[in-house]
Amino acid sequence: MIKKKKLRNVLIFVFLFFIIDLSLTQLFLFNFYYKKLEKQYASDLENRVLNKDYKYTFKKKSSFKSNYIGHEYTVKTNNLGFRDYEIRDLSKNNYYTIVIGDSFVEGVALEYEDTLVAQLNKKIENNNIKNYEFLNTGVASYSPYIYQRKVIGIIKENPWLKIDGVILLLDKSDVPDELFYLDPTQRPKYFPIEKAKYNFKYNEDFFDDLKRGDLWRFFSKQTTTGFFLKKAGDIIDLERRNLRDRYKLSKKLGKSFFKISSKQVKGFRSINSSTRYPRSNVANHFQGNLWETTSKQSIDFSIKNIVKIKNYLDNKNIELLVVLFPWPFEIANKAPRENYTNYIIQKLVRKGIKYTSVYKHFLKGDIYSNISDNYIYNDLHFNRQGNKILSDIIWKEHLKNFRNH
């Protein structure tokens, strides 16, 4: 009888604790933590605007917080809607080199000073060069079809801009992205610019998880206790994966488990992350049947778009440079790396397009440590150090060709 009473009291306590926790969570956690994330997403959506010519771009003269895989960073734009160090009007007295690309050029997850364009501009400052700047015209998910529309559009719409050169960073994700534009219906004269609908709610349906019978998801999402238990579980799971990856790498390198460094494990994880990149699993596009069929077709379409840029720039005596750079999975895998670089370099040379490949600079020494040093952890984008290497190469080998003035 006493045991039943104790059990009942425990159950009542647990139930009351759950109700209080659930109530306070809805009041505080959602109002402060989740609402902050929702507000950030809404701000991101408001400042990444649709555009009839480039499909989407940044809102002009804006400042907002963006978030990429948990990395919060500030985006500020100038009067033309390009990411910049501050909200400002570009000078009519300066010469400019356009840097065009996707998320690598935008600099996702990075503050402005860590981006490629900021580091190029720092070199201008350090060399005491006056009235000259690099412009960051990149936006995440762009590809060569959009590059040519934007580069030509910028020059046509802003005749006051003294453009001295264009640097185009050709990304791996351009291959699956360009497949989309191979469909003529996806290449209208003007893209639709209806306002995007904001539809992002962490707590959109309170009972949704219960309806599906997912009690753990409900508990971890709707209560503070569950929220922190999940965070603790995530930390434990990360350590488990660290041990697993350390073991895999020790077998791969033929080294003792205990001689594998944390830096090497981080590099190994970034390789796997870039291999599993969401858009059509990008790594699969550079080997096997997919490479021999749709990927080559996509690259051929990319080259056509780059040729359009070159022809337009040639008529205006503006230099073009294409930059080829690796993802982590290519550094560790020779076959897809050589398939891509050999094919695309052959195409660029045949069309008389200047290019530079930075691959060899990321293949030196221990590749896993290099990846850890130069890429965002568990991701495929360059960090500050990776962008520094990239900016050094562009500056030393090709910048002199752009300074016609």
pLDDT tens per residue across span 254-313: 999 899 999 999 998 888 776 555 545 788 889 889 899 899 999 999 999 999 999 999
CB-based contact 84:112 (threshold 8 Å):
yes
205 exposed, middle or buried (CB, 10 Å; 0-12, 13-18, 19+)?
exposed
Which tokens hold the place of 380?
């495929």
pLDDT at position 405 is: 46
Question: Average of pLDDT values for 203-223?
Answer: 74
Cα Dmax for the chain = 95
pLDDT tens for each residue of 108-150: 999 999 999 999 999 999 989 899 999 999 999 999 999 999 9
Sequence letter at residue 275: T
User: Which percentage of the chain shows pLDDT scores above 90?
Assistant: 60
Cα 319 versus chain centre, distance: 26
pLDDT tens for each residue of 41-85: 778 888 999 999 999 999 999 999 998 988 999 999 999 999 999
CATH architecture of 57-187+276-401: 3-Layer(aba) Sandwich (3.40)
CA distance between the termini of the chain: 95
| 3-class secondary-structure state, position 177 | helix
| 3-class secondary-structure state, position 207 | coil
Which tokens hold the place of 186?
């996806």
